[in-house]
Structure 1
């Protein structure tokens, strides 16, 4: 009797798991987002959320040091749309999305959009080597020591996975969040375009 109950429970668990996996791969939701209707979607472990202006938190305040030892702070980016990407060198999804981030950076840097990586694990030398190997030309804060930059962002928005990419508006508030590997450059471009448009660009 106990064996029969255990087998029944196992069958139910497998069925539930398959149902949940099926839901997480709902391509129609991904298509809705790509169509530009501003709905967040989940595809696997990838999630995009746009935050309406009225629902945004306070501006993020941070200080850090980039790979070459230059100090940076949130004040350096005020007045510009800023894309922030949390990453580390041994992260497979970070490697996969690096050319997509660079593509969007090249697309928008002449429009005043700025990019900043936040390396959460590596030394400055390792971060520089990653940038060289993957043709990444925007700077990254080295946050492996005390994690203060990541902590500053985590006070106002979930940083649930690496990589995570944020788009900040001109006031330094989080306007959009991508949790997980960036699926395409066009998705990030759409988020940047939306944020630029609301800022009056």
Structure 2
């Protein structure tokens, strides 16, 4: 029996939320200490050949500063989308690298975070602590940004970083903490050339 559309969307959102929130990924040992309940990710780096890329969905939401943000306002730009939350140890480990890359690529690449768990105060404190120069969508209450990617290239762990090419397709996915800034930097340089 076919489920009504709202119920299917709710089930899909729940599945995405469980996958994202259950999989805080790291091989650094920090995330696997004690009884934290984190599931280590595989730190897979996937680059998709131009002819095999999926179109990125339209997504957006309310930023930690209270303003609305939509990917539609950034059509034609290379984008980095990072799914994270403040208490995630690998998110904290990769934060300085993302801040560095966002600063290096300012004006050439749009960076946007998708905070899957926190409120504005926690997100802003994280940004201040790590010098994050870009905003984040607060997605904990609605899951809209996460749901937008369900069925396309679902972020299966936190953190997950996606690179969206200027043509609106998904160029790369890094599942788990960014191993080195140079890896994402090289992907971005390739997309900008």
TM-score (normalizing by structure 1): 0.73
Unaligned runs of 5+ in 2: 1-26, 28-40
The structure that is helix-richer by fraction is 1
Partner of residue 62, structure 1: 59
Tell me the distance in 1 between the aligned counterparts of 2:60 and 2:137.
9
Structure with the bigger RCO (C-alpha within 8 Å, sep 6+) is 2
Q: Which has the larger radius of gyration?
A: 1
Q: CA deviation at 1:155?
A: 2.8
Residue pair 2:60, 2:137 contacting (<8 A) in 1 also? no
Q: 1:85 aligns with which of 82, 88, 96?
A: 82
Q: 2:69 aligns with which of 72, 78, 93?
A: 72
Q: CA offsets, 1:19-48, max 9 Å, x none?
A: xxxxxx9xxxxxxxxxxxxxxxxxx82110
Q: 1:150 aligns with which of 118, 142, 146?
A: 146
Q: 2:110 aligns with which of 99, 107, 114?
A: 114
Q: 2:133 aligns with which of 130, 137, 150?
A: 137
Residue pair 1:74, 1:172 contacting (<8 A) in 2 also? no
Q: Structure 1: which 4+ aligned runs deviate by more than 2 Å? A: none
Tell me the distance in 2 between the aligned counterparts of 1:90 and 1:193.
30
Partner of residue 173, structure 1: 169
Tell me the distance in 2 between the aligned counterparts of 1:186 and 1:58.
25
Residue pair 1:80, 1:114 contacting (<8 A) in 2 also? yes
Q: 1:164 aligns with which of 160, 163, 188?
A: 160
Partner of residue 13, structure 2: none
1:166 partner SS:
strand
Matched residue count: 154
RMSD, aligned α-carbons:
1.4
Q: CA deviation at 1:84?
A: 0.5
Q: 1:51 aligns with which of 39, 45, 48?
A: 48
